[in-house]
Amino acid sequence: MNDSLSKKIDAMLPQTQCRKCGYDGCLPYALAISQGLADINQCPPGGESGIRKLADLLGVASKPLNPVHGTEQPRLIAVINEAECIGCTKCIPPCPVDAVIGAPKQMHSIIAQQCTGCELCVAPCPVNCISMQPSPLPAWNTADAEQAKRRYLSRNQRMAKQEADKVARRQRQKQQLALLKNARLG
């Protein structure tokens, strides 16, 4: 695997982390392309211009976006119908860039400037109060991609720390229970 190549490919991807390409995010897709396991035409958010950039980088012919993965669209953002939101929080965990804010049993909102348009928050909503709408923001650009990548990496680090803390807490609880059990038997 060429790590340098996969980083170059990743830098060209839109960093929406939408998974429409069939991979768990832009970096896994970039790795798959660099290893010859994925084609360059699987990223709807990157669209035709993204495919051309990847083709130029890799020295291969450009090709149309594979419709199996979706279609190229103008920039979209998630919008929550706040009157219908029940505050279930099911839309928060799937958001790869922490663009959904809210608390249990409270109305939720989308931070439009941070929304990548990935659509991952839509399906988990039990009351279908989230829709994808044209963004009032300019077209997705490199600066947006860089910000989204930073937010994505920050979220992943936070989630990993939370998981490690949970495992450590469970381990401490098991040790305390074992000590209590031994004290009762002793």
Residues 50-99: pLDDT tens digits?
Answer: 999 999 999 999 999 999 999 999 999 999 998 999 999 999 999 999 99
Domain of residue 38, residue span: 3-69
Residue 57 domain-assigned (yes or no): yes
Residue 49 domain-assigned (yes or no): yes
Residue 133 domain-assigned (yes or no): no
> What is the value of pTM for the model shown?
0.86
What are 13-53's pLDDT values in tens digits? 999 999 999 999 999 999 999 999 999 999 999 999 999 99
User: What is the residue type of 100?
Assistant: V
Q: In 3-state terms, what secondary structure has residue 100?
A: strand
Total domains in the fold of the chain? 1
The domain spanning residue 31 has which CATH number?
A: 1.10.15.40
User: What is the residue type of 7?
Assistant: K
CB 106 within 8 A of CB 87: yes
Residue 16 domain-assigned (yes or no): yes
Distance, in Å, from the CA atom of 67 to the CA atom of 35, rounded to the nearest integer, reads: 22
Distance, in Å, from the CA atom of 51 to the CA atom of 21, rounded to the nearest integer, reads: 12
Residue 51 domain-assigned (yes or no): yes
Residue 36 exposed, middle or buried by CB count within 10 Å (0-12, 13-18, 19+): exposed
Residue 114 domain-assigned (yes or no): no
Residue 76 domain-assigned (yes or no): no
Residue 157 domain-assigned (yes or no): no
